[in-house]
Structure 1
Amino acid sequence: MDYKSALREETVQVVSDYLEYCCRREGIQERPPTSPAAATLRSVAKELRQNYQDFFEYARNQLLDCTPEQVLRNVEELFSQEEFNWGRVAVTVVFAGAMLETKEPQKEERAQQLRREMSRRLTEKLCYYLVEKKGAWLHENGGWTGFHHRFTKEKSSSKSDPSSTLCCIMAAAGFGLVGLALLLAVR
């Protein structure tokens, strides 16, 4: 199996794990992560979402009428000018997950069906972007195992300061949430 096929398989597994996690129903016990990288992504996402809760709520409300393809195309354009890194991978996937967490007063079953369909489309688009456009970078940086090691190493070295992992994520992203705020502003 060539590296791209293996990377595609692993990317689908990690991204779908996280997006399905975002689609879970309230009160239903979550499934365990499917890999160490998936567990790391959930942990990183939790920190980002807790510390930037207002932003993600605002972003979700602004993007309700956008398709996953439109949002990810804008995110891709935002990243095309800058160096790609693990922080950007994390922020992109977490941002996609935020789009799935709706609190619409629709019937719960219909809302779940819509979230699952959007999750499938987001997984497909994110995987295409990450593997086809950024696959060489991901491969050079250890794939999802490299992602896991990057953030678990930071977490273990920053036990005394829980906010330092988040700072590392945002520093690695290179633009913080300011770039995504700009994306929403020009929409």
Structure 2
Amino acid sequence: MEQEDALRGETEQLVTDYLEYCCRQEGCQERPPSTPAAATMRVVAKELRRSYQDFFECAKNQLVDRPPEQVLAEVAEMMDQDGFNWGRVAVLVVFAGAMLETEEQEKKERGQLRSEMSRRLAEELCRYLVEEKGAWLRENGGWTGFHHHFTQKQPPPQSDPNSTLCCIMAAAAGFGLVGLALLLAVR
């Protein structure tokens, strides 16, 4: 039980860090990442968002008349059908962040809605990752393992910057473009 509590705390910290990063106000200085794994998540997310921009744009359209945590749960279930890896973890967290970018009409209301949606998405992500994938996370080194998985694959600074992207995408490729296309059909 102590291991699960520690994993839950680390998961909440990482997920909250990333979702708050996604909700930050334009023009406001961003907060530094709360942990090395949170910093890694931001780097991986940036590359995923850049490389799969169309897919994450579609995430915004998945919320029509549906609770965001329900969409996230369906995506998590679909991703889990043929194995689990760090790339899928990253895609799931980044997908939640993309859902926070829905357009609302009033700016004041938008901040409140995004904050509430962020809280609900964080709860669902933590529930799924700790309760359903906790054993897998612990077997793979927890969030320290996540950090090491992506940072150990990074080439030395003098290498071609495109190979960094290749390493990140290769780790996420366990999800595959076919999986990304399937997720677009989730309704």
**Would you call these one fold, judging by a TM-score over 0.5?**
yes
Could you tell me whether the CA contact under 8 Å between 1:23 and 1:100 is conserved in 2?
A: yes
CA distance in 1, matches of 2:65, 2:163: 35
User: 1:114 aligns to what?
Assistant: 113
One-letter amino acid matched to 1:184? L
Question: So what's the TM-score if we normalise by structure 1?
Answer: 0.90
The sequence identity of aligned pairs, in percent, is 72
- 1:173-184 equivalent positions in 2, closer than 5 A: 173=172, 174-184=174-184
- 1:1-187 equivalent positions in 2, closer than 5 A: 2-104=2-104, 106-157=105-156, 160-173=159-172, 174-187=174-187
CA RMSD of the aligned region, Å?
1.9
**Higher mean C-alpha deviation, range 14-23 or range 158-167:** 158-167
SS at match of 2:138: helix
One-letter amino acid matched to 2:9? E
One-letter amino acid matched to 1:109? K
The total of aligned residue pairs comes to 186
Render the CA deviation track for 1:36-95: whole Å, top value 9, x for unaligned. Answer: 110000010011111222221123124343212221221122123212110000000001
SS at match of 1:81: helix
Could you tell me whether the CA contact under 8 Å between 1:74 and 1:183 is conserved in 2?
A: no
- Classify 1:178/1:139 alpha carbon distance in 2 versus 1 (closer, same or farther; 3 Å): same
Could you tell me whether the CA contact under 8 Å between 2:62 and 2:186 is conserved in 1?
A: no
**Higher mean C-alpha deviation, range 15-24 or range 162-171:** 162-171
One-letter amino acid matched to 2:185? A
CA distance in 2, matches of 1:45, 1:139: 22
Could you tell me whether the CA contact under 8 Å between 2:73 and 2:124 is conserved in 1?
A: no
Consecutive unaligned residues in structure 1, runs of 5 or more: none
**Higher mean C-alpha deviation, range 71-80 or range 117-126:** 71-80
Consecutive unaligned residues in structure 2, runs of 5 or more: none
Q: Which runs of 4+ in 1 moved over 4 A?
A: none
